[in-house]
A and B are shown apart, each in its own frame.
Chain A
Amino acid sequence: MSRSLVVGSFENGEDILSAARAARVAGLTIVDTYTPYAVHGLDTAMGLAPSRLSWVCLVAGLTGAILKLWFEWWTAVVDWPVNVGGKPDNSLPAFVPITFEVMVLFAGLATVGALFAVARLWPGRRRPALVPRTTDDRFALVIEQTSAEETTARVRALFEEHRAVAVTEHVDEGRTCGRGQTAMKALNVVLALALLAAIGANAALDRDPAVPARDYLPEMAYSLAAESYAADPAFGSGGVLQVPPDGTIARGASPLHYLATPADALRAGLELSAPPIDQQALRRGATLFQTFCAICHGDTGVGNGPVVARGFPPPVSLLAPHARDMKDGQIFHVLTYGQLNMPPYASQIDAVDRWRIVAYVRQLQGSQQP
């Protein structure tokens, strides 16, 4: 279907605003306007209805937020509950930032996508510019000639009254291909080739590992302080890192003289005894047990933690007679040195806390039947 169009070009936003208003008053059909930037107020002047894009934005944003909230809850509460610092699994504050981001992502992408769809813009689609200078410094108002009597002269007069700098006539045949298109295609090919060439050149570069690359901010790579494992110019022998004298122990540490063997576990059971534990320490023991042990042993100690549900060989029940008969010191030894499939915890939990966990394990055993 073809229609004939009259296009007026204006020099500034004010002129096209007044021309558009006048055209509406005169009952002319405004097809569209083309401007180098968004001219405020032009939508009302053209008589456009309020944009429905804001609804797309609202609905997509809410959808994103709800989906993400649900997903956070599902991962953190249903599928893989992990105790983080003793916080409840379902902790809203932790979900808020990512929910917010996903909401913005959904809303943004959906709005831009909807805009493209409504404006029928997609890759490869080209519309010839009626007035090429609208991409630079011209403002074009396009009017459709509806009937034969609608003489161009009338539109022309209206345009000129509003200081139009040029008035042209076009026939729109609904074609979407313009001249210039071949040139653009060629340009795309050239750009793609240039990109390939850049990638190829980069791969072909001879990177000699012996030649240092250029350093930005060298202070970060080369420390002023001596490197721990370098030779020490002052001591001559050895290195910067000196060997501590025999029998040195770390501050605050109390050494345990055991090996990670079942025999030593039994010996620990005879030699070590638990320090006195009060209610608060017991509560701390419970929190630590939830944090470190429950993933395998389960909340109650029967050995049904979430990791086991996913195929980890189930640990023996802590409520079984074998564990009940273990001495406190022996359990302490298990926590410290590990036992078969169970890893050692000495590096993650200090001795005082390990004793608290032992006390909590005892409490679990006391309060439940195997």
Chain B
Amino acid sequence: MRILPPGRWTAATACAAVTGIAAGLVWSPDRTWAAMLMASYGLLGLGLGGLFFIALNDACGATWAVALRRIPEAMVSVLPFGAAGLALVFAIHPSIYPWMAHAEHFTGFKGFWLSPGFFLGRAAVYVSLWLLFATGIIRASRAQDRSDHPSLATRRTALSVSFVVVFAFSFWLASFDWIMSLEPHWYSTIFGIYNFAGLFTSTLAVVILLVLRLGASGVLRGVVRAEHLHDLGKLLFAFSVFWMYIWFSQYMLIWYSNLPEEAVYFVRRQTGWWRSLFYLNVLLNWAVPFALLLPKTAKLDRRLAWAAVVVLAGRVLDLYLMVRPAVVSGGPSFGVWEAAPFLLAGVVFVVVFARAFRRASPVPLGDPWLAESRSYHG
């Protein structure tokens, strides 16, 4: 089975990306660090999204995706790498956050919340919690391959239910900390859900691309069925609409009340060239996938893959729009300094995923619902 492109290509791409980043840190540190933040946060999101995908299915007793579960399971392995990228930004370039650089000063509770020590402590708590749940859930799943003890399934359900709750709170706060505090005077309580919507939509897009690839030519040939693709397609469609719904909820309330301290966020993103990107974001994340995936047949043919690719491009743009205007003044620009971190994140994803996927059997053999997932009617 081949998931990876030939080794030398991978190595060459990784080298190019690392060189690009190094050069960027010398010549255009602000832009490069901003892109590092986006790429790490996006990579971490894919790992976290994979875990949430498993937990969501387990928590509501859904069995359809059991046969594909090793894919999101392997995706979880990229979580620590995303976290490492973030740690790099926090450690070497904390001044990306104006309050860290003492350009902004807050008092009272906000001052306490946005203090370097507490910020780093919180980040450590979030990531450890996620890793703890990831280990627990995946271990139980792997253990099922060797033992058919029913307690394993129960343990997975219990862990998954708790994770969903923990994830909701922790990721919400994490998005406040890591992204929203780039503009510390601006706040939006819905920002956490907005970030979750992007995280999960992009996760679904990646899961779909991997399912298509592994199902067409890889080890999952014969396991992946039209029913699976149809259901994944419906989820992608639904969550793209969900993203739009949340995007609009955030936008409309701020637009309507038009309070200066809230509206700045959108004013900044609607001036000059930012304006076109602002609307492109809506096209890529919602309008195009919506139109593509509306017919039933679209979820069963090439249009599914195209929709997934468009959503992924939309995710990159969405992250760019959240981070970049806050960090670097002036109009938008996308060049080597932005491409290199994303390229590196892509290489890391592919390599880490491939290794993790090979480490266990490609389908969860011991799961009592495997047969159901292999034969259900959608």
Contact = CB atoms under 8 A, between A and B. Distances in A.
B251 A93 contact: yes
Interface string B27-65: 000000000000000000000000000000000000000
A314 B376 CA distance: 73
Interface in B216-262: 248, 251-252, 255-256, 258
Given A50-B296, A85-B258, A93 B377 contact: no
- Among A85, A93, A96, residue most surrounded by chain B Cβ atoms (within 10 Å): A93
B248 A40 contact: no
A244 interface: no
A97 B252 contact: yes
Among all A-B residue pairs, the 3 with the closest Cβ atoms:
A41-B377, A40-B377, A93-B255
A272 interface: no
A354 B191 CA distance: 39
Interface string A95-110: 0110000000000000
B376 A40 contact: yes
A41 B377 CA distance: 5
Chain A's interface size range is: 10 to 19
B378 interface: yes
22 contacts: A17-B377, A39-B377, A40-B376, A40-B377, A40-B378, A41-B377, A41-B378, A50-B296, A54-B296, A58-B294, A85-B258, A87-B258, A93-B248, A93-B251, A93-B252, A93-B255, A93-B256, A94-B252, A94-B256, A96-B248, A96-B252, A97-B252
A87 B252 CA distance: 13
Contacts of B376: 40
Interface in A70-101: 85, 87, 93-94, 96-97
Contacts of B296: 50, 54
Interface string A123-148: 00000000000000000000000000
Interface residues of B, number: 11
Nearest to A91: B255
B251, B258, B376, B377, most chain A CB atoms within 10 A: B377
B103 to A, nearest CB: 28
Contacts of A54: 296
Nearest to B254: A93
Contacts of B294: 58
Interface of B: 248, 251-252, 255-256, 258, 294, 296, 376-378
A96 B255 CA distance: 13
Interface in A38-88: 39-41, 50, 54, 58, 85, 87
B323 to A, nearest CB: 24
Contacts of A50: 296
Contacts of B378: 40-41
A54 B294 CA distance: 10
Interface in A9-45: 17, 39-41
A97 B378 CA distance: 32
B245 to A, nearest CB: 9
B226 to A, nearest CB: 11
Contacts of A58: 294
A105 B378 CA distance: 27
B219 to A, nearest CB: 26
A139 to B, nearest CB: 14
A39 B376 CA distance: 11
B240 to A, nearest CB: 15
Contacts of A85: 258
Nearest to A50: B296
A342 to B, nearest CB: 29
Nearest to B255: A93
A41 B378 CA distance: 7
A357 B378 CA distance: 66
A99 to B, nearest CB: 12
A54 B252 CA distance: 30
Contacts of B258: 85, 87
A91 to B, nearest CB: 9
Contacts of A87: 258
Given A54-B296, A93-B252, 5 more contacts: A17-B377, A39-B377, A41-B378, A87-B258, A94-B256
Nearest to B376: A40
A240 B255 CA distance: 42
A177 B357 CA distance: 61
A50 B230 CA distance: 15
Nearest to B377: A41
